[in-house]
């Protein structure tokens, strides 16, 4: 009987140690999301195109870090293009975070916008 408890305890210890890196990564990602203004629902808007590689990188980044955002493709809607031009967009992506803006995409620059 004691051997079963020891085996069960050893199994739980191995499981705990094995899950530690995954738990640490999850907590880091969670703190990134909370630390980047999503806790207070800062609106994120991206004007983009489907073919733009930096738009793709931004989409992947937002998805990976679970950011909620609204995307407007400037090639599929005349209204989206008009709005983009009204904002003096010079290229895509044009990312708006609240009242701040970012032309292009770089994760470090995006994170700086959120602080």
Query: CA-to-CA distance for 13 and 103, rounded, in angstroms?
Result: 49
For 21-46, how does the pLDDT look when each residue is reduced to its tens digit (9 = 90+)? 555 554 444 444 444 545 447 899 99
Six token digits for residue 98: 């609240």
Task: Return the higher-pLDDT residue of 62 and 14.
Answer: 62
Domain range list for the chain: 2-114
**Per-residue pLDDT band at 15 (split at 50, 70, 90):** low
Q: What is the pTM of this model?
A: 0.66
H-helix or E-strand containing 73?
Answer: strand 70-73
Architecture field, domain 2-114: 3-Layer(aba) Sandwich (3.40)
The values of phi and psi at residue 32, to 5°, are -65, -45
């Amino acid at each position: 009987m004691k051997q079963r408890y020891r085996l069960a305890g050893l199994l739980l210890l191995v499981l705990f140690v094995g899950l530690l890196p995954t738990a640490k990564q999850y907590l880091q990602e969670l703190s990134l999301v909370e630390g980047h203004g999503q806790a207070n629902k800062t609106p994120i808007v991206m004007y983009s195109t489907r073919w733009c590689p930096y738009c793709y990188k931004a989409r992947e980044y937002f998805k990976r870090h679970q950011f909620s955002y609204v995307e407007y493709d400037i090639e599929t809607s005349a209204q989206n293009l008009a709005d983009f031009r009204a904002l003096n967009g010079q290229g895509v992506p044009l990312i708006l975070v609240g009242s701040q803006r970012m032309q292009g995409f770089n994760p470090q620059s995006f994170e700086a916008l959120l602080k």
